[in-house]
Each structure stands twice: as structure tokens, then as C-alpha cells.
Amino acid sequence: MDNNSRFLLRSFRKYYKENRPVMPDRFTKREFGFMFFDREMVQRHIGFPAPDELSRFLIAQVPSHCYYSTAYYRRPSAPTMEEKEWLGADLIFDLDADHLQGAEKMSYSEMLERIKKEMINLTDSFLFTDLGFDEKGVHITFSGGRGYHAHVPSDAVLTLGTHERRELVDYITCSGLNIDWVFPFQRVVTSETKTAAGIRANVAKDRLIPPPEAGGWKKRMREGLMDLVNDVCDLDPKILRRTYPSISSSGIVTIKKMQENVRASRKQIFKNNSLAFLDRNYQEMLVKVMGEDIAPALAAEVDKPVTPDIKRIIRLPGSVHGKTGLRVTPITRDELTDFNPLRDAVPSSYSDEPTKVTLKKDYEFDMKGEHFSLSGETEVPEYAAVFLVGRRAADFGHLSEKKESLF
């Protein structure tokens, strides 16, 4: 075990001596798993009959990462999944900033802020509304690393299988949305033509719009169409093409003609819940934008493989994350709005005492209300040192002192 791991182990042991983990619902039916600073193995298939036993384990063993099963088992400490006897599982939604588009260009703080907005979208637009979960029944947790978890331990979802959970993910992420279901065709007989075989009806196909009382994705898409129509009416054609990539190949003349048509018909469209007032080519252009650009933007961000996995293990609330030293923190929806992990998830057991570290490269961040702009060998408060060493942005101690000690 190197000096960095020893430093983190000491800091984590101090934390676990002063803090107890947050025991999940029905914890005696859960499997627990751990990773460590001083060994390569992952230890799983452990059960704890009482909170005190888990606390003693954490103090004695000092894991770098702590997990528990989203599933409930008759015998959680059995060595194989078959012997455990699955009884049910919480519904889990995992959001990790590492999956965000452009994450590689973001700072750690920027990733945290962006993924928090995604969690707010998930809870407010889907979990508390479309899916009808009660706010008190959804347990939100900062993961301690780069994201958030939403746990739903309700009996109503306990026995949902993998297929049903995947359906929920598809709904939330807008996978497989049928645009013709949202904007169905209305077939209208415009005229009749006499032929040798009889009377032939001439049928027009116009798109309908979801009515104001619609719910779920139809409501979401109606509101999205309102925003799109406003943009079509107000934006410069070149900006419009940049804003909506699905029409980026359309000519400027075509865009301008569509704008004229939409401006003239804006009121009638929503008053009559129909795009019939537009040229049919422009109807299809709007529907194309809605399907390819708007719908994905209205979806929520979730890690798709996590939710359907009914035997998943997930981070234990109240533990600390081995790659940041931050606390895996339970929060309410109200707290989520202003939650700042680099302020609110920093354990108080880490002191303000100056601690020597050596930066691997220049590093700038804010923590506990203090701004740090660091390089080379320096001293920082212990809480910042834990974060920097955990993130592998710095080594514990001063490199020059280590070299001197060799002679």
C-alpha cells in the first residue's frame, strides 16, 4: 500500500469512527459489498443483522468503496445468486456525469452542476409527474463521485422484472417514440373524382397536434412544438438551421418560405390542434425537428443498464467515495436545488489542518467556500488533500522530502 492509500485509509477510518452509515430499508435482506485500499479483492456476499455490526466492519476494515444490493434476498450472505433467493428489488435510476455529452471538456465542478440539472429533470418531469411517485417515496442520493441516484423502495415496484424496468427507461429516455402516435395523420376527403370503376375519393393527410389536456409525452411534445413554432417565427434562418440540426441541409429559401407559412398560421395551429393550416412539406419539416431534435432534448438522462438490473449493487448512503473522499449523501428534492457536493458532501471529520501535497499538474477548484489554484508542492487543508489525492490530482506529501529521505 502506497503513501496515498495510507493517507486516505487514515482519513476514512477517522470518518467511520465518527459517523454511522445510513441503513437502507430492510437492510437485513440486502447483500453488501466492498473494495479496499490494501487489497485487490472485491468482497461481496456479506449480510449484516444489525447496524452496529456494519459500523464495526467499516472501522476495522476501512473500505475504499461500500455498496449494498438494490435487491432483497432471503439469504443475502449466501455465496451464489441462486442460493440467495431473490425476493424483489428497489427501482433505481443512476445518473453519472461521465455519460454526458461533452463531459471530457468539463471540469469536475461543471460536471456536477450539469448532472444535478439532469436529476432535477428526471424527478420533476418524470418520477413525480408522469410516473406518479410520491416525492417522499423517492430517495435521492449524491453518489460521492460524479452523479446522483434515485431510489424507489416502494412495494408497488418491488417485483417488477427486467423487462418492465427497461420499459420505464425507454419511456424516460424517449427510446422508440413513435412520432406518428404523437402527431397522427388526419385523413380528410377533399374532393371526389368519377372514374370508370366508380367514385374515387381524394384524401389529404394533415398532422394533428396533441390537445392541451394531453398528458405524458404528448403534452411534452405539444409544449415543445410551441417553443419550436416561436423559434421558427423569430430566429434568423441561419441560426434556425444551427439550432435544429435535422433541417441543417434545407436551403435558406425553403426555410424562409416555411417561416412565412408558420407566421401566418401560428394562432390557428394551436387553436385547432392541427398543422393543416401549413403546407404539407412544412408540416413534415416541423415533425422531423420534433422527432430528431426536440424529443431527445426533452428526455431525461439515466444510465440505461442500471435500472433493469434487478441484482445490482449500488453505493451505500453515508459511506465515503474512494476516489473523492466525499460523502454519499442522501438529500431531499428541495435540498437538491442548491446542493453543492464540494460544500455539502465534505465530511466534517476532515480537518482544516495544513497537509502537504504535490500536484501532478495545475489544478483549480472551489471547496467549502474557498477557492484553490494550486501547482507543484503546496499545503492545503486536510479536507482538500483527501479530495485531491482521491482524485489522483496530487500525491500525499512533498516529492522533494521523499527524495531527500532516500539519502
DSSP conformation letters of 76-133: TT-SSHHHH-EEEE-EEEEEEGGGSTTGGGS-HHHHHHHHHHHHHHHIIIIIIIIS--
DSSP H helical ranges for 190-330: 216-234, 237-243, 252-271, 280-289, 295-298
Q: How much is the pLDDT for 60?
A: 96
In angstroms, the CA 54 to CA 57 distance is: 5
Q: Give residue for cell 431510489.
A: 151
Options 303, 334, 362, 366, the catalytic residue: 303
pLDDT in tens, 347-392: 999 999 999 999 999 999 999 999 999 999 999 999 999 999 999 9
What is the structure's pLDDT at 100? 86
Element (H, E) at 67: strand 63-69
Cα angle: 336, vertex 381, 8; to 5 degrees: 80
Dist CA 249 CA 260 (whole Å): 19
Pairing status of strand 185-195 against strand 198-207? antiparallel
Classify residue 109 as exposed, middle or buried by CB count within 10 Å of its CB (0-12, 13-18, 19+).
Answer: middle
298-247-252 Cα angle (round to 5):
140
How many Å apart are CA 110 and CA 340, to the nearest integer? Answer: 11
Question: Has 25 been annotated as catalytic?
Answer: no
Nearest-angstrom CA–CA distance, 30 and 70: 7
**Would you call 336 exposed, middle or buried from its count of C-beta atoms within 10 A (0-12, 13-18, 19+)?**
middle
Tell me if residue 38 is catalytic: no
What is the SS3 assignment for 257?
helix
CA 299 distance to own-chain centroid: 11
Query: CA–CA separation, 92 vs 168, rounded Å?
Result: 11
pLDDT tens, N- to C-terminus, the chain (407 residues)? 899 999 999 999 999 999 999 999 999 999 999 999 988 889 999 999 999 999 999 999 999 999 999 999 999 999 999 999 999 999 999 999 988 888 889 999 999 999 999 999 999 999 999 999 999 999 999 999 999 999 999 999 999 999 999 999 999 999 999 999 999 998 766 556 666 666 666 667 899 999 999 999 999 999 999 999 999 999 999 999 999 999 999 999 999 999 999 999 999 999 999 999 999 999 999 999 999 999 999 999 999 999 999 999 999 999 999 999 999 999 999 999 999 999 999 999 999 999 999 999 999 999 999 999 999 999 999 999 999 999 999 999 987 665 555 44
Nearest to 111 by CA among 387, 400, 340, 269: 340
Query: What residue segments make up the domains of the chain, in order of their start?
Result: 3-174+301-344, 179-298, 354-404
Q: How many CA atoms lie within 13 A of 191 on its CB side?
A: 2
CA distance 108 to 110: 5
Strand runs labelled E in 275-391: 313-315, 329-331, 354-359, 363-367, 370-374, 377-381
Task: Output the CA torsion sign for 178, 182, 187, 190.
Answer: negative
What is the C-alpha separation between 103 and 111, in angstroms, rounded? 7
pTM of the entire predicted model = 0.89
Catalytic residue among 94, 98, 227, 309: 94
Q: Exactly one of 96, 134, 366, 395 is catalytic; which is it?
A: 96
Quote the CA–CA distance of 174 and 60 in Å, as a whole number: 46
The cell for 163 is 423487462
Kindly report the CATH class assigned to 3-174+301-344: alpha beta
**Looking at residue 320, what DSSP letter applies?**
B
Return the closest-CA partner of residue 209 out of 189, 179, 235, 241: 179
Question: With b meaning 16 or more CB within 10 Å and e meaning fewer, what string describes 202-216?
Answer: eeeebbebbeeebee
Question: Catalytic residue at 94?
Answer: yes
The SS3 of residue 243 is helix
